[in-house]
Amino acid sequence: MNALLTGLELRLRESDAIQVATLVFAALVVTLATVWPTPGTSANESWFAFAQMRSLVLALLALGYGASAAAESPRRAVATGLMVLLLSVLVLPLEVAAYAASYPATPLWWSLVSVPVAALGYLVLGALLGRVVRAVRLGAFLPLLVPAAVIGLLVLDLRLGWTVLNPLTSAVVVSPLYLSMMGLLGAGGIVFTVLRWRREPLRVVRA
């Protein structure tokens, strides 16, 4: 546990972590300020736009960092994943504030549970994308392929009429299938990472 916390602390000190966290919070705060109704206008429905923006931003973030973590050592990949999970949890107070003002029919527990689980699932999808892209030697195109992957997930779910991988619909609609898929992906990623972590010392010794 100490190794995990130390790795996370070191990862959070890196410049990209600070910059990305600042950008994520800035984007969400601007979104909330933009959709918040002025006094005397219509009912407050800011949560719906905020939740979808939050889901989209975190999906892009997790896919991007997951793709980059595929080329990292197990320890650094775990630290990167923990950083993304921590950021996904830190945005929840903003969501709770928007939810309290909007009174949507979607239960609050859905956001509290699905946000970290989805972040973990998208991290694993990003890692799979990173491995495939590097296997075909197209790693330079990852900055374009990550948003393309999100668009592909949106189109796939819309075409098939379900909510399994779609970050927009899943943000405002309870979908057990979506939660199950993200949970399975996350569990598989955790098992794979643990196995890599245990093999890492062996590789160092043999080297």
Residue-range domain boundaries for the chain: 2-206
pLDDT for the residue numbered 103: 85
What is the spatial distance between Cα 191 and Cα 43, in angstroms, rounded to a whole number?
46
Q: Provide the pLDDT confidence category of residue 201 given band limits of 50, 70 and 90.
A: low
Average predicted confidence (pLDDT) for the chain:
87
Is pLDDT at 207 greater than 50 in this prediction?
no
Is pLDDT at 205 greater than 50 in this prediction?
no
Is pLDDT at 203 greater than 60 in this prediction?
no
Minimal CA–CA distance to 94: which of 58, 123, 130, 120? 58
Q: For 35-63, what is each residue's pLDDT tens digit?
A: 888 776 667 788 999 999 999 999 999 99
What is the spatial distance between Cα 114 and Cα 116, in angstroms, rounded to a whole number?
6
pLDDT for the residue numbered 94: 92
Minimal CA–CA distance to 135: which of 197, 81, 67? 67
Global pTM reads 0.89
Q: For 79-117, what is each residue's pLDDT tens digit?
A: 999 999 999 999 999 999 999 988 888 999 999 999 999
Q: For 8-19, what is each residue's pLDDT tens digit?
A: 888 888 888 999
Q: For 117-168, what is each residue's pLDDT tens digit?
A: 999 999 999 999 999 998 888 878 888 999 999 999 999 888 888 888 889 9
